Every structure is written in C-alpha cells, then in structure tokens.
Structure 1
Amino acid sequence: MLFRRIVYWVSGRCLHWFYREHRVVGYGKVPTSGPVLLIGNHPNDLPDVISGLYLSPRHPRYIATVSVTTSAMARAMYESMAVIPVARVRDARKMKAEGVDLAAVNQAANDTVSAALASGEVVAVFPEGGVHDVPQIGRLRTGVAKMILGHLDAGAKNDVTIVPFGAQYEAPRRWGSDTMTVLGEPWTARAWYEAQPAEHRGLAALTDRLRESLLSVTRNSASWEEGDTRDEIVAAAAAATAPHDPLDAAAGMVSHAAAVAANAHSGGVWPQTVRLKTASDALARAVERAGGIGSSAVDHALLLFALEIQVGKRPVSTAALLAGVPAAAIGWLVHAPILAVVNAVAKRIAKDRVDFVPSCFVPGLYLVLLWWVLVSVLAAVGMFAVGIGPWWALPLLIALPRLGDLAIAWRQRFVGWRLVRRVQRWSTSDRMALRDAATVVRETATQWKALP
C-alpha cells in the first residue's frame, strides 16, 4: 500500500510537470461500490494510464501487457498496483523464446478479472488492445466483450457497471499543453444484454456498444497538433461560452463537433458553420502568434480576456507573478538542467512519436531522482566545507520536489500572463478583427449548444 501511494505521488508529478492543466470531467460517475469495468481510449500510452488513476477514489486494477515487466522495478510496480498482466499475440514469439506460456498467462488473467469483478473491484482496460496514436477510436478487440459476457454467464445475479473514459489532449507530446479525462454515462452489462434480441447478444454487438460509449467521451478529430478544423472550433466555442472553465465546456461540446466540422468542409446544412470555422481559424492563429497552442481552449479563453470580450479564465496578476519569482528562480535553477537532459534523452531513445512522453516519464524519473540525490550530496559537502552540519541537506532533499512544483507552476502562469500582454500590445486593427471573429464564435456557439 505504501508503494502504491508512492506510485500515485510520482505519477501525479509526472502528469502535472509535463502538462499545464489536467482536468477530470464527470468525476463521481464511477459507482462507489460493486464491480466496475472502466473502458478507455489509448492514444498516448503512459499518460492515459496515469490519468485513469484519478477518476475515482477506488483504485483501478489495469489489464496490461506482461511484455513491459522486463525490470525488477516494473514488476514491483505491477504487483503494488495490482495490475492484471495479459499476453498479446504480437509478443508471442518473444515470450515463447523466454519460456513463457502465452495461453497460461491469458487464462490466469481471465481468472483474475473474473475474481476481481466477483469481489466488487474496479478493473480498467483499453479495448483497442494497444496504443492508437490518433484522436479517433480504433478498431476494438473482442476480448473485452468476451470477458463481460463470461462474467454475466458466471451467475444469474452477476452484473458489472461499465464506465467509459476518454483521454483528450490538445497537443499530447508538447510540454505545457492541456489534457483532460472525460467520464461518460455508466451502464450495466446485464441491462444491455436483456434489452437485446437474442440474435444481437453476441461479441460483435457488445463490442459495438463499447465503441459507442467511447465515442461519447473522445474527440475523434483527424489529428492532434496539425491545426485540425474540429479542434479549433471546439476550443474557440468552448472559450466563448464558458471562459471560466473552458476545458469542461470543451468536453460538453465534443458531441456536436464532428457534425460541425463535417459541415464546415462540405458547405453543410447549417449556414453558420462556415462563418464559425473561419472565425475560429482566425482565433487559433492569434493564439499561436501570442505564444499559446492553437487548439487549446484555455489559451482561447485567455485570448478573449486579453481582447476585453469576456472575463473568466484570467492570467495571474503581475504582482503575484513577481512575488513568486524568488521561489521559482530557485526551483528552475535546480531543475532546468535536469529537465533539459530528460527532454534530450527522451527524444533520443523514443523509437516513434508515441514513445516520447513515456520516455520523459520513466527514464526521466530515474534521472530526476538521481539529480535530487546529487544536488543534496553537493549541498552537504558545501555545508561541511563552511562548517555547517551536512545533515541540513536532508531538508533540502525533501523540499526539492516542492521547489520543482513551484517552478513548473510559475512557468505555466507566466505563459498565460505573456499571452495576454502580447495580445494587448497588438494594433487596434488586429484586435478589432479578432473581436469580430470572437463575436461570431460566441453567437454561433450559443446556437450550437442548443442543437439536439
């Protein structure tokens, strides 16, 4: 249990040091008792897993591939987090060479899942069967549906609540971007089963139902970072309708965004769509020019504040920013070198795009821990040299993570403050043009929210 708490603490640090804001939308939808199956999309590897840890006070038992347990630390983490290991077909050759029985591993996993659900635990799984490096939902494996049907067959009164969650990213591999995890509406497997005609109770039908659940909580746009039309529309409309909480507003608008984007490309049936696309594109370019992220709802809300259109998501005041300089300066003096090393190492060892963030987290974690120890040892040596007790370095070691938190938080607030100041210095004509665009977004987004 102690090791699990440490994992949660470290995981939270990784998530919040890399991403500017992480929001859970719909917290509280996971039942407080009884068997629960959390199903999620899997576009960004380790951050998706970490995000799932904070969806409920109840600890989720992930179903994860056994192929990553190649080190003692990974095995210890699997054990402490009560992970249920499974073997993938793609790993069969490697596992066979290592003398591992793939069939036995998967049978043990099925037995463990059945026992966990029977005892009322929370089990989490990614039905896509692996990392799917795009915002759209990929083809789901039938294994999860088979597992659910097997659970229902285990007893007449047996049931399981299924809760979908969607990991949504503004720019998944960019430091300082936003991420949120959206929980969907729970539904019970037995209620679904009993409502279906006998011929529609099979694996294919249940897999389709799981896919529908995931579609309700994910973005399903064409790309992440390439200025996708749908992402920009969602960001601009969310900021215009709820600048006080644009991430939550963005989650609420996702269900309409696909139709809006499709209409924008086709000239569509909704006359305001093309105007909304044009206006949101202009706002997205302005956000990029000001140093934010073009598809970020938070940055769009800051842009509206800078244009004096709406008051909601506002940057930190200049006085508060200056007051935080001393602590942030110390934090960055200590952490900037090692974070630069972590970024460089991650870029070097990542085999493809989706490996970058996990490489920042896992090797990066070891590097940061070693760096903290090294800084503390050097501080102890320096204290001893000037006649101060070296044991004073121990409080420094304890304080280093908090100094890192302060440094990261200050930088994130500075980025928002800088964006607003840059916009306020733009020419009157530029700002008027953006105000016109924001007005279009606000008016059409209000109509958009009223769509069925």
Structure 2
Amino acid sequence: MLYEVVHSVVPPVAKVVWRPRVTGLERVPSTGPVILASNHLSFIDSVVIPIVVPRKVVFLAKSDYFDSPGVKGALSKAWFEGLGMLPVDRDDTKAAIASLDTALEVLGRGEAFGIYPEGTRSRDGRLYRGRTGVGHLALTAGCPVVPVGLTGTQDIQPVGSRLPRLASVSVTFGEPLRFEGRFDGVPAGRARREITDEIMAAIGALTGQEPAGVYNERPVDA
C-alpha cells in the first residue's frame, strides 16, 4: 500500500523536475523476474531507475536508513520502503550472502531486482570492475539481465551535498542478456566471472565510461 501511495506521487513530480531522457524502456520485460544491472554514480540512482520503470524495481539499501530513531527515522523508513527498497546490513560479514538470498527471493516472486555490480558508487566517473554476485543471480534465477546506463545522476546530488539539484539525466536500457544454457559444464566461478564481465561491457557501451580495470572499494565513511 505504501509503495502504491509513494509511486503515485514521486515519479510524476520527479519527471517534471528533472525531465530524465529515457531510451530503450521497451526492453524491460513488463512481467516476470528480471535483473536490472546498472552503473552507479550517485545515491540518487536508486530513485531515478524506479521512477522511470513502470513496474516495481526492488533495490537493497543500507539498514541505517530503516532503523534510525525518532520522527526523522520513521520518515526515512517510510520513504525507502515506499520506493520498494529492502534493508541490508553492509557491516555484517555475512551481508553479501544474505543480500544475494534476498535478491533470489525477489526474483522468485517474479519481480524486478536492481543491482549495481560495481558494489559502490564511482567517485571519479570511471566504470569499475563488476563483482560476481550479479553473475550468480543470473545463473541461479535463470532470468534475463537488462543492462542500464546512467549519466548525469552524480550532478543531482554530488558527494557531500545535502540537497538534490537540477541536472541533465539520461537513463538507457540495453538489450536483455540471457545466459540460460550458455555455461553448461563451465566451472561456476569462471561462469560467474564471464557473465559479470559481459554485463559490465554492455553497461560500458551504454555510458561510454572509461573502464577502471579494478574493483571499487567502499570508503570507510560511506
């Protein structure tokens, strides 16, 4: 119910304010499980993608947004739940495994799951190497992966800014990638790596970002 209320208000307002340029939206399946794998430039990415996709897209967000005390904490929890986000404790050593299990539950319900294979946002604009969780999800769920290319979102809420700003934003959806049957007999670790690299190459083709060639590490204070 909360999701329906928030999405009846936020997307129309956001589209009027930021007027995002959207390309390839028809490539997102209207029903059934699908993974939306995107580059990551800003905290606001997890708001931009859901407001342009006509179906619910579930993202994971750090648990701090859901369990802060007081009225501000309650409003924060309502906001993130209203956007369809689920909490994950990023400081838990088992969080990575738990987040994959949560993603598989979402996909098992036939929903869309959004993921940033880079793991954390790029602070220098380069496209970092993808972590293989997305490859694991694609193999295990057996569903299509739609690459997503975001540009300009880093200017909506630059690192360190408290309030969003007006900026030119583009969201491009690529052709769905399917991996069913393509990696039969391939060792699981190698299959996950090759799938992830293919997904990241597709994202890079949409954004034109310079490949960093290394993993992006989350800052201590992020």
TM-score by length of 1: 0.39
- What aligned pairs does 1:44-443 form with structure 2 within 5 A after superposition? 44-46=42-44, 48-69=45-66, 70=68, 71-88=73-90, 91-92=91-92, 102-103=93-94, 106-151=96-141, 159-169=142-152, 172-173=155-156, 175-194=165-184, 198=186, 201-220=190-209
Q: Using the aligned pairs only, state the percent identity.
A: 25
Q: 1:2 Cα deviation (Å)?
A: 4.4
Question: What residue identity is the alignment partner of 1:76?
Answer: A
Q: CA RMSD in A?
A: 2.9
State whether residues 84 and 113 of structure 1, in contact with CA within 8 Å, keep that contact through their aligned partners in structure 2. Answer: no
- Give the unaligned 5+ runs of structure 2: 158-164, 212-221
Question: What residue identity is the alignment partner of 1:172?
Answer: D
Structure 1 runs of 4+ off > 4 angstroms? Answer: 105-108, 173-176
Could you report, residue by residue, the CA deviation over 1:219-268 in whole angstroms, capped at 9, with x for unpaired residues? 3159xxxxxxxxxxxxxxxxxxxxxxxxxxxxxxxxxxxxxxxxxxxxxx
**Higher gyration radius (CA):** 1
**Residue 33 of structure 2: aligned partner:** 35
Q: 1:34 Cα deviation (Å)?
A: 1.8
Q: 1:110 Cα deviation (Å)?
A: 3.0
- Inter-CA distance 185–191: structure 2 relative to 1 (3 Å threshold): farther
User: Which secondary structure does the structure 1 equivalent of 2:37 belong to?
Assistant: strand
State whether residues 142 and 203 of structure 1, in contact with CA within 8 Å, keep that contact through their aligned partners in structure 2. Answer: yes
Which one scores higher on RCO, CA 8 angstroms, separation ≥ 6? 2
- Inter-CA distance 15–192: structure 2 relative to 1 (3 Å threshold): farther
Which structure shows the bigger proportion of residues in strand conformation? 2
User: Which secondary structure does the structure 2 equivalent of 1:131 belong to?
Assistant: coil
Q: 1:108 Cα deviation (Å)?
A: 4.4
State whether residues 15 and 50 of structure 1, in contact with CA within 8 Å, keep that contact through their aligned partners in structure 2. Answer: no
How many residues of Structure 1 are paired with residues of Structure 2 in the alignment? 199
User: Which secondary structure does the structure 2 equivalent of 1:54 belong to?
Assistant: helix
Cα distance in 2 between the residues matched to 1:10 and 1:131: 23
Q: 1:198 Cα deviation (Å)?
A: 2.2
TM-score by length of 2: 0.75
Question: What residue identity is the alignment partner of 1:78?
Answer: F
Cα distance in 2 between the residues matched to 1:205 and 1:3: 36
Cα distance in 1 between the residues matched to 2:166 and 2:36: 27
Cα distance in 2 between the residues matched to 1:61 and 1:164: 15
Q: 1:210 Cα deviation (Å)?
A: 1.7
Cα distance in 1 between the residues matched to 2:101 and 2:131: 19
* Alignment of 1:6 onto 2:28: no
Which structure shows the bigger proportion of residues in helix conformation? 1
